[in-house]
């Protein structure tokens, strides 16, 4: 099969930095991961190696990695239609990251905006955090990835991956596919329920600001009903003048598979109470089954580990071929098979 005949290969990863993904993760990226299984040769990864670039508890990291994988399966990732694995189970990521690190200029790495943002929030800044984008490039290039789903906050990292692939190819010979951005269907950014001027995040200053996929349904309803709205009771979309209700309209439209315009018409003449009560049910009905399914996967540790091991074996089969080629190009001896 030629490159033109096969499905495009897509790679994406998510960090296990909390006990649960939140609604912004789901609507902004993870729901698109599920859809891409049918149109791409998709590899999805829990990037636990990236998670240790900041202080962490090893036991908590291990638990969160398993919980992250269980949530991805509960959301609809199918091991028969995609490759799902834990990053640290595939050592070729780190092997390639070292090679790419020798191709990355210090100034080039220091310009990465996420390093500046994250290092400013920490007392101790590590070399690992500084070279985080190089490992991300290795994640992508080691699978000969054609397309990478990226949001605006990751676009700079993808450009580094493209630059490093082109640079290596130009110096040592054709080795890596130069990946292209995969533009997913545009989705509204989900805002904090308590502070709708901010993006929803696990670092929310209010416990009710972030809606987690593993929240109990009654807690989900409570968070929606107590979400900040705006003065006046009109259910109308205006992100500048009415950011609170506009954020809730975006959530309703996304989970209810409708449009903001239809919702505005439906709730014309009704108040926030009716709107938020109905939205609370929509959220609980949509996300409640995900939490239940996640618990089922976590309850069967042997089956979950079997799925992840099988995924890692598939991923290593692809990654090992790239490493063999890169090692030969760079002048290394080939890795010794175990």
What residues act catalytically? 118, 199, 202
Tell me whether residue 123 is exposed, middle or buried, using C-beta atoms within 10 angstroms of its C-beta: 0 to 12, 13 to 18, 19 or more.
Answer: exposed
What strands, in cross-sheet order, belong to the sheet with 147-149? 82-86, 41-46, 9-14, 147-149, 180-182
End-to-end CA, the chain: 29
Q: Are 234 and 267 in contact (CB under 8 A)?
A: no
Name the phi and psi angles at 24, rounded to 5: -65, -40
């Amino acid at each position: 099969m030629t490159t033109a005949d096969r499905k495009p290969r897509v790679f994406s990863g998510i960090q296990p930095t909390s006990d649960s993904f939140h609604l912004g993760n789901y609507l902004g990226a993870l729901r698109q991961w599920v859809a891409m299984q049918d149109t791409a040769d998709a590899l999805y990864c829990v990037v636990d190696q990236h998670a240790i670039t900041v202080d962490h508890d090893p036991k908590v990291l291990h638990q969160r990695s398993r919980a992250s994988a269980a949530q991805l399966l509960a959301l609809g990732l199918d091991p028969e239609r995609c490759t799902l694995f834990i990053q640290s189970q595939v050592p070729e990521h780190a092997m390639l990251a070292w090679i790419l690190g020798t191709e990355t200029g210090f100034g080039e790495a220091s310009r990465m905006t996420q390093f500046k943002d994250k290092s400013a929030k920490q007392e101790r800044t590590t070399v690992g955090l500084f070279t985080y984008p190089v490992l991300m490039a290795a994640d992508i290039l080691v699978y000969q990835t054609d397309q990478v789903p990226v949001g605006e906050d990751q676009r700079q990292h993808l450009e580094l991956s493209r630059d490093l692939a082109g640079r290596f190819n130009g110096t040592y010979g054709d080795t890596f596919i130069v990946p292209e951005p995969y533009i997913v269907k545009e989705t509204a950014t989900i805002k904090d329920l308590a502070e709708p001027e901010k993006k929803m995040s696990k670092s929310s200053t209010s416990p009710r600001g972030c809606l987690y996929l593993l929240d109990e349904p009654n807690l989900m309803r409570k968070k929606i009903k107590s979400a900040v709205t705006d003065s006046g009771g009109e259910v109308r979309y205006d992100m500048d003048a009415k950011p609170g209700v506009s954020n809730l309209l975006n959530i309703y439209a996304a989970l209810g598979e409708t449009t903001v315009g239809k919702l505005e018409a439906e709730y014309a003449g009704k108040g926030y109470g009716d709107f938020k009560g109905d939205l609370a049910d929509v959220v609980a009905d949509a996300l409640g089954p995900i939490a239940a399914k996640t618990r089922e996967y976590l309850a069967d540790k042997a089956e979950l580990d079997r799925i992840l091991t099988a995924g890692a074996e598939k991923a290593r089969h692809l990654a090992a071929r790239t490493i063999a080629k890169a090692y030969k190009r760079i002048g290394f001896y080939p890795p010794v098979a175990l």
